[in-house]
């Protein structure tokens, strides 16, 4: 059976993404279902709004890979249709309507871009280390503006982001730090581009504010890492816990039975977000806290 780290011994670096850290913050039980339990518990049906977001992100990434002469609004719209994810919609009619809507907003956004202004990176993986964590993540787009880099994140949700969303986003701050360290170029500005409205919100970080985000990431990582160690000490080598959140070949089963003392390390954090949890059917507390949602309820009003 795995042992907890000995007191006074240095801990191994906690390897993580911003998504993993935010999952721990949102709900430790969902974190356990996502990253620790193997076989991974089965998820609910796919969400239509997630498919819209992925379709648009993929189209914009593909747009920058096109030859310069094909970087047109029409190409952007066509790429949405070509890679459309039609899962989670009420019916084929709703899917078709949203495919058209997503193509139009993606084409309109592409019309605001200079096809000759080549980004430093598109869907680029960046990484950074501290004495506590090894962070990595994928940036939607990394621009060069003058002598500095700018982190660009696409948003397709129904609610336009605010300046506070950009300012307090742990993921964007981590991407800025990692981009600066990897490319040895200053990176302070982060931007959220909301395609449905065409709005852009930005935040200009300082060295101090980025350092604050890193400290917060380390604090979250220490909590999650200690919980991971408790789980692994219980699970032992016969039941290895996952590290990446990828579905195992046995995915789709019910989560393993864990003793009360381990369940207490990963308590549910209930609230309105429980309606949107992929694992709500495995969480009685979450079902009691918030009602069911149809897979298409996350879409903006038609």
DSSP tag of 275: G
pTM (predicted TM-score): 0.89
Position 9 scores a pLDDT of 52
- Terminal-residue alpha carbon distance, the chain: 54
**Residue 18: pLDDT above 70?**
yes
Distances (CA, A) of 265 to 5, 8, 32, 41, 220: 17, 22, 9, 18, 14
Largest CA distance in the chain: 61
| Residue-range domain boundaries for the chain | 48-110
Name the pLDDT band for 251 (thresholds 50, 70, 90). Answer: very low
Q: What is the pLDDT of residues 34-93, one digit of tens each?
A: 999 988 899 999 999 999 999 999 999 999 999 999 999 999 999 999 999 999 999 999
3-state helix, strand, coil split of the chain in percent (to 5) is: 45, 15, 40
Helices (H), 66-162: 73-82, 92-110
Neighbouring C-beta atoms of residue 158, cutoff 10 Å: 12
**Does 169 score more than 70 pLDDT?**
yes
Residues near 196 by beta carbon (within 8 Å), at least 6 away in sequence: 105, 156, 157, 158, 160, 300
172 vs 240: which has the higher pLDDT? 172
What pLDDT is recorded for position 245?
A: 43
**pLDDT single digits (tens) 127-165:** 999 999 999 999 999 999 999 999 999 999 999 999 999
pLDDT-based confidence at residue 7 (cuts at 50, 70, 90): low
Please report the pLDDT score of residue 295 as a whole number. Answer: 98
């Amino acid at each position: 059976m795995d042992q907890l780290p000995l007191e006074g011994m240095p801990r191994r670096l906690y390897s993580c993404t911003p998504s993993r850290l935010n999952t721990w913050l949102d709900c430790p039980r969902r974190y356990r279902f996502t990253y620790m339990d193997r076989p991974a518990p089965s998820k609910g049906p796919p969400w239509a709004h997630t498919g819209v977001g992925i379709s648009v992100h993929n189209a914009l990434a593909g747009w920058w890979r096109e030859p310069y002469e094909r970087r047109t609004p029409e190409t952007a719209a066509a790429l949405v249709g070509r890679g459309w994810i039609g899962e989670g919609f009420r019916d084929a009619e709703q899917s078709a309507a949203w495919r058209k809507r997503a193509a139009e907003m993606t084409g309109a956004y592409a019309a605001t871009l200079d096809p000759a202004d080549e980004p430093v990176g598109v869907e680029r993986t960046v990484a950074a280390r501290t004495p506590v964590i090894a962070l990595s993540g994928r940036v939607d787009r990394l621009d060069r503006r003058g002598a500095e880099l700018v982190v660009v994140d696409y948003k397709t949700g129904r609610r336009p982001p605010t300046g506070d969303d950009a300012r307090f986003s742990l993921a964007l701050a981590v991407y800025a730090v990692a981009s600066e360290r990897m490319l040895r170029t200053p990176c302070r500005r982060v931007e959220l581009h909301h395609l449905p409205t065409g709005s852009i919100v930005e935040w200009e970080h300082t060295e101090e504010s980025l350092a604050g985000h890193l400290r917060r990431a380390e604090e979250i990582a220490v909590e999650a890492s200690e919980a991971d160690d408790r789980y692994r000490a219980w699970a032992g080598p016969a039941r290895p816990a996952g590290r990446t959140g990828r579905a195992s070949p046995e995915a789709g089963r019910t989560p393993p039975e864990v003793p009360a003392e381990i369940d207490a390390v990963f308590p549910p954090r209930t609230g309105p977000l429980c309606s949107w949890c992929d694992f709500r059917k495995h969480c009685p507390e979450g079902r009691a806290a918030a009602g069911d949602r149809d897979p298409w309820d996350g879409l903006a009003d038609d």
